[in-house]
Amino acid sequence: MDSKFFDSLYEGDSPNGVKLGMGLTGGEFWARPAGCQNLYRGISMEAVDFNDLIAVAGLAETQVACPAWLEHLPSTTYFYLVRRANGCGQEEHTLGAAEKVVIDSYGNLAEPKCNSVFSVRARQIDANKVELVWFYQPIEQKAAPSCFRIYSDNGSGQIDYENPVAQIGYVGRMFYTWRSEILSANRYLFCIKAITATGVDGGFPGQIKIHLEIIKPGAIEILETETV
């Protein structure tokens, strides 16, 4: 039996013993002969406290309910993880049954987001135009994107997130490309965000910076040609 489940010292009345029902047995033996599922929580996967049981459910149950007293702070992310234990009090050590819960600034569950874009590249093409190339990976996404929105600073140094300069439809896991119109300033900032059908973005915070070589070298003046 795992030591955190062995509550005979407290006659089963320790916090873990109460949740496991060991108070009925005086804490002398495992009170769930069929085994159970144990719920844990942390603010990150590395910070999950596996010595503190949040809730317990039967092995055959398909859900584990959080107790009503459990606090969820606004603008906070929590990681919940379930581990099964057998009738001898031996618990598995898997990290596979985990769920990320994001609480918004109002204290409510945040809407599901799509994944962020990554592998973004930018280059100057056709004299004074910019080409952006990025990749989208849909694996383990909470919501599928409906499109990508491209934002720019229009050369001002401050990106305008209210008015996208372009919108590209999402068609699956692949590389996407966008080309700008002719640009006149020397430096530009861009940001690409994946957007769900309800308007929630994937939260990509990065900016793509590009410096345009606007000044072209002067034409070479040929004064004389001679055949050799």
| Domain layout of the chain by residue ranges | 3-103, 118-211
Determine contact, residues 134/204, Cβ cutoff 8 Å. no
**What are 34-57's pLDDT values in tens digits?**
788 999 999 888 889 888 889 888
**pLDDT (0 to 100) of residue 227:** 38
Tell me the mean pLDDT in the region 203-209: 74
Cα atoms in the 13 Å half-sphere on the side-chain side of 142: 17
**pLDDT (0 to 100) of residue 82:** 93
Indicate if the pLDDT at residue 228 is higher than 60: no
Determine contact, residues 21/13, Cβ cutoff 8 Å. no
**pLDDT (0 to 100) of residue 143:** 87
Which residue's entry shows tokens 């590395």?
Answer: 46
Tokens, residue 96: 């596979």
Pick the CATH number of 3-103 from 3.40.50, 2.60.40, 3.90.198, 3.90.550: 2.60.40
Which residues is 133 bridged to in the sheet? 121, 177
**pLDDT (0 to 100) of residue 175:** 92
Rounded to whole angstroms, the Cα distance separating 178 from 210 reads 14
Indicate if the pLDDT at residue 177 is higher than 80: yes
Indicate if the pLDDT at residue 217 is higher than 60: no
**What are 75-101's pLDDT values in tens digits?**
898 999 999 988 777 888 888 888 888
Indicate if the pLDDT at residue 225 is higher than 60: no
Domains 3-103 and 118-211 in one fold? yes
- pTM greater than 0.75 (yes/no): no
User: Going by CATH, does the domain composed of 118-211 fall within 3.40.605.10?
Assistant: no
Indicate if the pLDDT at residue 117 is higher than 70: yes
